[in-house]
Chains A and B, each alone.
Chain A
Amino acid sequence: MLIVDTLGQKCPAPLIATKRALKECDAGDSFQVITDNKTSFDNVCRYLRDNKTEYTCLASDSTWTITVRKVEAEVISSPAEDYCLTEIPHFRKGDYIIAFSSDTMGEGDEVLGRKLMLNFIKSVRDLDDLPGSMVFYNRGVMLGIEGSETSDNLNFISQMGVKLFFCATCIEHYRPGKINGAAILSNMFEIAQAMASSSNVIKP
């Protein structure tokens, strides 16, 4: 796969390089953009999202890798790719996933619901068996807003090797601002596949 190395470069150089690669490659091709600048990472993602280009992200210590796939017209189903994050083998994973369809837990008072959801996410960190992955759709994507307490905890969970799939359509709809860099922007096929291939789906 073509690697667009923009290490050490600042805005707008990584975006220019991404745009050039997009222009030069054929439909169906993928390439990776590597950057060590958080702002450039955010801006490239924002650009791809705005232009409805399919991409996934991978964050490690201080570099970000964006895998871009040039698609024609309709979205081609992309298998949940095997990007291991900084996976730490020490953490055991169970055969279940967690689906977040809202930013509150349960029905009733909203303030209480938010508090409960934060506590739930905090508790996931301490489970003996971590979930295989976590998917976020509808208002569930709000849990990933960068800088929020839920997002900080999700970041921690992602560093333990749990993939966080965020529904890109939902982010597009709510436009909640910056989303945690650990989030993998995903489509409904990927989310459906993650839910279908797991024995248990937990919905808090």
Chain B
Amino acid sequence: MKVDLLEMTESGGCSAKIPPSKLDEILSYLPLPVDPNILVGIDTHDDAGVYRVNDDLALVFTTDFFPPVCSDPYEFGQIAAANSISDVYAMGATPVIALNIMMFPSARLPLEAYASILRGGSDMAAEAGLRIIGGHTIEDYPPKYGLAVIGYVNPGRIITNSAAEPGDLLILTKPVGTGVILAAQRMKMAADEDVSEAKRLMKSLNRSAAEVMKTQGVKAATDITGFGLAGHALRMARAGNVTLKLDLSCLPLIGDTYRLVDDGCIPGASFRNLDFVEKDAGFSPDLDYNLKMIAMDAQTSGGILMCVKPDSALSALDDLKAAGMTASAIIGSVTAREEKHLILSD
């Protein structure tokens, strides 16, 4: 039996996240645990939590899981795992161990699909040098998969989303548009080569981006996922109490993303993200509407947005391109806090 996971879900991948504005409200009601060893907690909405074990070691701990983004179970496993591990890389850490998190409808799908998803996850983990040492599965429809990952980092070398400083330049390591391309695929509007390119990007680990950040001494970064480039940039600006200015004309895009958006292929998640972003964002008066909505596009396993000092920006860019992140581009800069935390222009 040929399994098509896409038939089972309406919003796959990170588009399935709870709207960011709702999440922020819910989190604000939760008590913050107090412990001097919590180096990064819930309060800054960072990519992962960080816990200090001793002066040389801190644990980076994160989880992510979501419904299918593609038809093939093996590829889905790879993409979900790459996405889960990405948060560890975004903190400048090395992934070490992980647990599988799986929801699977065993009455509706053959167990081979279950095995394929896990195999995809396991192969991706092996590529990252990560050991999967257990997991948990429950019955649920549609299927969902991801990892809970622990990474190691030296407490003095943590990369957070709150360390952006005025003067920094912003580099994005992957082109944007997975949400648009996946929606277009459902609508049978996407070109095959764009779908394969989106899948290739979602399966590519942010490992080399993390290595470049270490060699270039980057202190601030975040990975771009469900809240879109604008949503994650805004969180970074808030956490660091600065303003991020993005020049969307420099934004690298996957294939035909722009034309698809111009045809109205704007996923629902983009409007949710716009609701979250616009209160705290300024838009240049003639900002192209399509580019604005692309900045809201929910990414699955997206790239790293890193803050780089101007004198090392070009060498960081060279390193990233040499490491295979060929679409990497400088897409904006950090300034002292202005009235709005985020400014989008083109």
Q: Which residues of A contact B (CB under 8 A)?
A: 10-13, 15-20, 39-40, 42-43, 46-47, 50-51, 175, 177-178
Q: Which residues of A contact B271 (CB under 8 A)?
A: 42-43, 46
Note all chain A residues with C-beta closer than 8 A to B268.
10-12, 39-40, 43
When C-beta atoms are compared, the residue in chain B nearest to A21 turns out to be B264
- Residue B275 at the chain A interface, CB threshold 8 Å: yes
Cβ distance B8 to chain A, nearest Cβ, rounded Å: 14
Instruction: Tell me the chain B residues, 243-288 only, with Cβ under 8 Å from chain A.
Output: 263-268, 271, 274-275, 278-279
For A15, the chain B residues whose CB sits under 8 A away are 264-266
Which applies to chain A's interface (DSSP): helix, strand, loop or mixed? helix
B322 on interface, CB distance cutoff 8 Å: no
Can you list 11 residue pairs at the A/B interface with Cβ under 8 Å? Answer: A10-B10, A11-B183, A12-B187, A12-B264, A15-B266, A18-B264, A19-B264, A39-B268, A42-B271, A47-B264, A47-B266
B289 within 8 A of A: yes
Beta-carbon nearest neighbor of A175 in chain B: B278
Name the residue of chain B whose CB is nearest to the CB of A43.
Answer: B271
Asked if residues A12 and B266 are in contact (CB atoms below 8 Å), the reply is yes
Taking Cβ atoms with an 8 Å cutoff, the residues of B that contact A are 10, 183, 187, 189, 263-268, 271, 274-275, 278-279, 289
Question: Of all chain B residues, which has the CB nearest A50?
Answer: B289
Whose C-beta in chain B lies nearest to the C-beta of A22? B264
Contact A16 B263 (CB under 8 A): yes
How far in angstroms is the closest Cβ of chain B from A147? 12
A19–B10 Cα distance when bound, in Å, is: 21
For residue B289, which residues in chain A have a CB less than 8 angstroms away from its CB? 50-51
Q: Is the CB of A20 within 8 A of B264?
A: yes
Interface residue from A11, A17, A20, A42 paired with B267 (Cβ < 8 Å): A11
Q: Which residues of A contact B274 (CB under 8 A)?
A: 46
Given contacts A51-B289, A175-B278, contact A12 B267 (CB under 8 A): yes
Determine which residue in B183, B187, B189, B271 has the highest number of CB atoms from chain A within 10 A of its CB, and name it: B271
Contact of A13 among B187, B275, B278 (CB under 8 A): B187
Determine the distance from Cα of A177 to Cα of B19 in the docked complex, in whole angstroms: 14
Would you give the shortest CB distance from A51 to chain B, in whole angstroms? Answer: 6
Shortest distance in angstroms between A12's beta carbon and chain B's nearest beta carbon?
Answer: 5
Which chain A residues lie closer than 8 Å to B187 at the CB level? 12-13, 16
| Known A51-B289, A175-B278; contact A43-B266, beta-carbon cutoff 8 A | yes
Q: Check A16–B275 contact: CB distance below 8 A.
A: no
4 cross-chain pairs, A with B, having the tightest CB-CB distances, nearest first: A19-B264, A11-B268, A16-B264, A15-B264
- Report the minimum CB–CB distance from B291 to chain A (whole Å): 13
CB nearest to B267 among chain A residues: A12
Beyond A15-B266, A39-B268, 18 extra complex contacts between A and B, CB < 8 Å: A10-B10, A11-B268, A12-B183, A12-B265, A15-B264, A15-B265, A16-B187, A16-B263, A16-B264, A16-B265, A18-B264, A20-B264, A40-B268, A43-B268, A43-B271, A47-B264, A50-B289, A51-B289
